[in-house]
Chains A and B, each alone.
Chain A
Amino acid sequence: MNFFIKKLLIVIPTLYIAWTVVFVTLNIIPGDPVNLMLGGRPASDEVRENVRKNLGLDKPVFERYTSFLINATKGDLGKSYLTRQPVTTMIKENMMPTIELSIGGLIFGVFFGVFFGIFAGTKPNSMRDTFSMIIALCGISLPSFWIGMMLIYIFGTTLGWVPIVGEGFVSLILPSITVGLFFAGGMARLTRSSLVDVLNQDYIRTARSKGISKYRIVLRHSLRNAMIPPVTLLGIQFGLLITGAVITEEVFARPGLGQLLLQAILAKDIPLVQALVVYMTAVYIFLNLIVDFTYGIIDPRIRLERNRG
């Protein structure tokens, strides 16, 4: 428990600093947001002043900053310039598809990545190692937008096996593969190299000297230790999933936060961009926190160190 609180105490300032960066960067964008709100229509000074007041732009920077932070914590970040809707509502409406996509990509990536990694790592320099690593290499070399389109073209347009648009589980298949492919490639390579490293450790040689079968050595002795670097990677890759959504949603014309973010950037809809980045950053940081916890489960050295502190 202590450890949890301590970690939280570090994470929260990081979050706030990140949000500060967001605020600073987005509020130095040239271009008057008032114009955007007015949609480019000419307006009298009085109207402009009103709009400015409504947007809260008349207040001094520091006040805007503090209210920004407070609102971010509360989860209320104002209204979109373009749609006039509260940004929180917009986020809520578009959340589910992105979450579905991320989970789909995660499952695909972890499953295939770890599988090929173990497949390769248990027999280094063999045919199956080379084969797996070539596939993994393709995974990290394929631009996701291209493979997305290729998949649509081959399986959707040409073969007609899979519907391209629409809701439901089936329509999630191709996008998940697209999002998860890069992730799977990275996982496979890291899992393999980590496994090979572990198998070269002295304690594996000790296990062999006990006459333990190779099968049991991999399963019981190596996997746990070998999974530590891939779990680290998982944390970073979450970021990929979240933002890989941007591209994949674009390619497959799916609704979601990625699409929303893109539109917001192109339209310079600052409140929306702000809100989305705030939200995504928070999710990313907290997911990494969860990943940190798993270390304790895997590695008793860390678990015991934590309990002592």
Chain B
Amino acid sequence: MKNFSIILKRFLLNKGSAFGGIFLLIIIIGAIFAPLIAPYNWNEVDTGPRLAPPSWDFLFGTDIHGRDVFSRIVYGARYSLSVGVISVLFGIVAGSIFGITIAYIGGRVDIIGSRIIDVMFGFPSFLLSLLVVAIIGVGLWNVVFAVGLASIPHFARIIRSAALQVKEQPYIEACVNMGFGKIRIMFNHILPNIFPIIIVIATMDLGGAIISIASLSFLGLGAQPPEPEWGAMLSSGREYMRYAPWTMIYPGLFLFLTVMSVNLLGDRLSIALDARQSVDKGKV
């Protein structure tokens, strides 16, 4: 267990991950305890004067409908992380099952499966999400689904190549040698060994997913008014940018900081897990 405490130490002492961790913690607390933290109701029109600049009453000012920007941001925190996580979860579970299966079974299955991935790669992922939204219509959860779907080929490809590498290892041959069935080998032996990679790419893509979802909301395809999702808030804030820039600055700022924190943690996680793998291989 000495290894684990060293990894933990590496993780926490680093300034980057400390900042990222603290900020994310704030966001999560804000999301959970929103009713306690937000001073006003996020949906109530004319809580204060319209387009009022930041003041002690309204920390980040008010928007065109007189709603408190700060409260809306606090409630918006509920969307920011969760939609990203759900979308990535969807993509990665689907991608993993697909990737591991075609990698292990190999042969024609692999060839066809890889072709499918290639075709999906023929579309830039954002375009794919747009297409999906065009079909199933607008809405926050539609966008979450679309972004998740579009991320599947990306995950499947990486997981497939990781699974292929693990498949080459002698201990997998040993499993075959001992008469283990395919499913057992795939999920009891291969999966646990590519798990670190899965975690790493999931966290690294989380930032991108959050931005994609917010972008689609910004374009009007995702969260619909009056939902206090940060991307959608930026869309409305845009119109009043000249006179009331705070309606645009703060939602975007929080979006930026959230994504940055996720990326920081993702980076540290990948370094920490990578190091562990080298130790396992006896290199240090």
Contacts and interface: CB of A to CB of B under 8 A. Distances in A.
Chains A and B share a contact (CB less than 8 Å): yes
Interface in B223-261: 231, 234, 238, 241-242, 245, 248-249, 252-253, 255-256, 259-260
Nearest to B245: A153
A246 B260 contact: no
A145 B241 contact: no
Interface stretch (A20-28, A41-49, A106-114): A20-28
Contacts of A17: 119, 122
Nearest to A15: B122
Given A25-B131, A246-B126, A265-B130, A143 B214 contact: yes
Contact of A137 (B124, B218, B264): B264
B259 to A, nearest CB: 4
Contacts of A273: 131, 134
B124 A29 contact: no
Interface string A249-270: 0110000000001100110100
B253 to A, nearest CB: 8
A250 B252 CA distance: 16
A266 to B, nearest CB: 7
B221 interface: yes
B87 interface: no
Contact count band on A: 35 or more
Main secondary structure of the interface of B (DSSP, over half): helix
A247 B267 CA distance: 27
B147 to A, nearest CB: 13
B119 A18 contact: yes
Given A140-B207, A149-B252, A247-B215, A281 B130 contact: no
Nearest to A273: B134
A251 B124 contact: no
Interface in B168-197: none
A265 B242 contact: no
A153 B252 CA distance: 13
Interface in B82-129: 115, 118-119, 122-127
Interface stretch (A89-97, A235-243, A293-301): A235-243
Contact of B126 (A137, A138, A240): A240
B218 A246 contact: no
B219 interface: yes
A73 interface: no
A265 B221 CA distance: 9
A26 B245 contact: no
Contacts of B115: 14
Given A137-B264, A138-B260, A239-B125, A265 B134 contact: yes
A277 B129 CA distance: 12
Contact of B135 (A25, A142, A145): A25
Contacts of A242: 124, 127
B248 to A, nearest CB: 5
A143 B252 CA distance: 8
B134 A14 contact: no
A152 interface: yes
A141 B231 CA distance: 14
A244 B219 CA distance: 12
A137 B130 contact: no
Contacts of A262: 219
Contact of A251 (B207, B231, B238, B249): B238
A28 B131 CA distance: 12
B111 to A, nearest CB: 12
A277 B215 CA distance: 19
A17 B249 CA distance: 43
B263 interface: yes
Contact of B248 (A14, A153, A243): A153
15 contacts: A14-B122, A25-B132, A25-B134, A141-B207, A142-B256, A146-B255, A149-B252, A150-B248, A150-B249, A153-B249, A239-B124, A242-B124, A246-B126, A268-B134, A280-B124
Given A14-B118, A152-B241, 5 more contacts: A28-B135, A149-B238, A243-B130, A265-B134, A277-B127
Interface of B: 115, 118-119, 122-127, 130-135, 207-208, 211, 214-215, 218-221, 231, 234, 238, 241-242, 245, 248-249, 252-253, 255-256, 259-260, 263-264, 267
